[in-house]
Structure formats: structure tokens, C-alpha cells
Amino acid sequence: MTIKTIVKGTAKGIVMKTSSPINFLGAVDKKTGFIRDENHDLFQKSIKDVVLVFPHGIGSSVGAYTIFSLKSNNSAPLAMVCKKADLTTVSGCALANIPLIIITKEEFDSLENGKEIEIDSDSQNKL
């Protein structure tokens, strides 16, 4: 098994993929879900209601609250998919009940931006 479930759940949605790590506190607007860091390749895009595929979270420990706020403001991604676990993303998703899975580099590379995917942490395939 190469896919690891960190926070259980199911989700079906469009992949929004970036190869840049995300600093949730600095780069994401906690009310709207828009990316406001102009150096980030998702700048001015919203992560609301997508399956967010990114390498891992970085930076401030308070980013976990940003993830929780996104969920409370109905602006959170449907699910998150990372290449590497980081404490901010893991604990934020755990508290906010946002499904989170960790995948290998090969699987990460094979996911296409804009495609619809389904995540089911309880099924055999998960993706």
C-alpha cells in the first residue's frame, strides 16, 4: 500500500495541483480560500471545494488554525493530497475533518490538474 490515510473520509472533486509547498498562514486568505502570495503559482486562485494536491505545508504553526477557519467559513478544500506529511496540515485537517492522504512521488506526478477524482479512504484504491 503506497497511499497512506491520515484523516479518513470521502470526497469527489476537481484536482487543483501545485508543485509549490503552501504556507497556510501567510499565503491563504482564511475567509475566502484565495491564495494571496504573489510568488505562489496558485496566486489569486481559490482552494475552496477542490481536491488540493500540493507537496506539503510550510511555515507558521498557526497555519493549522487557517485550515480550521477555512472549514468554518465553508472555504476549505474538499480533501487534501500531499507528498509529505507536515504537522500543520495534518493537525489542521484532523481537527477540521478534512480528508487527507499522503501519496508517493510517482502518484503525485501522475495526478492531473483540472481532472475530477474521487477519494475514499476506506476503499482499496483510495484514489
Partner 1 sequence: MELTRQEEAALKGEKGETLELAFRILVATGEAFNAERLIPIKWAHLSGVNYNTIGDAGEEFLSKLSQDAKVATRTTLNPMGFDIDNVSNYNLNENFLEKQQSIKDSYERMGVVPSFSCIPYEIFDLPEKGTQVSFAETNAAIYANSIGHLKTNKESAFSALASALTGKSPYSDLRKDDSPNLTIRIKIENPNEMTFGMLGYFAGKIAGSSVSISGVKNLNKRSCKSLCGGMGTSGTCGKFVLDDDEKSEKVDFDEKELQKIHDELNTSDSGDLITLGSPQLGLDEISDLASMLKNKSFKKRCMVFCPRVVQQQARKLTYANELERAGCEILSDCCTCLTPLIDKKDVDSVITNSIKGAYYLKNSNGVGVNLKPLSKIIQDETK
Distances (CA, A) of 43 to 25, 29, 101: 14, 11, 24
How many C-beta atoms lie closer than 10 Å to residue 34's C-beta? 17
Could you tell me the smallest distance in angstroms from the CB atom of residue 115 to partner 1?
26
Instruction: Mark residues 20-59: x for contact with partner 1 by CB under 8 A, - for none.
Output: -x-x-xxx--xx----xx-x----------------xxxx
For residue 90, with 0-12 CB atoms within 10 Å meaning exposed, 13-18 middle and 19 or more buried, which class applies? Answer: buried
Is 14 one of the binding residues for partner 1 (CB under 8 A)? no
123 is catalytic: no
Segment near partner 1 (CB under 8 A), from 46-54, 65-73, 108-116, 118-126?
Answer: 65-73
Q: Please, are residues 14 and 114 in contact by the beta-carbon 8 Å criterion? A: yes
For partner 1, which is the closer residue by CB, 81 or 91? Answer: 91
Compute the distance between CA of residue 5 and CA of residue 50 in angstroms, rounded to an integer. 18
Instruction: Mark residues 71-100: x for contact with partner 1 by CB under 8 A, - for none.
Output: xxx----------xxxxx-xxxxxx-----
Q: Please, are residues 94 and 86 in contact by the beta-carbon 8 Å criterion? A: no
Binding positions for partner 1, rule: CB under 8 A:
4, 6-7, 21, 23, 25-27, 30-31, 36-37, 39, 56-66, 68-69, 71-73, 84-88, 90-95, 102
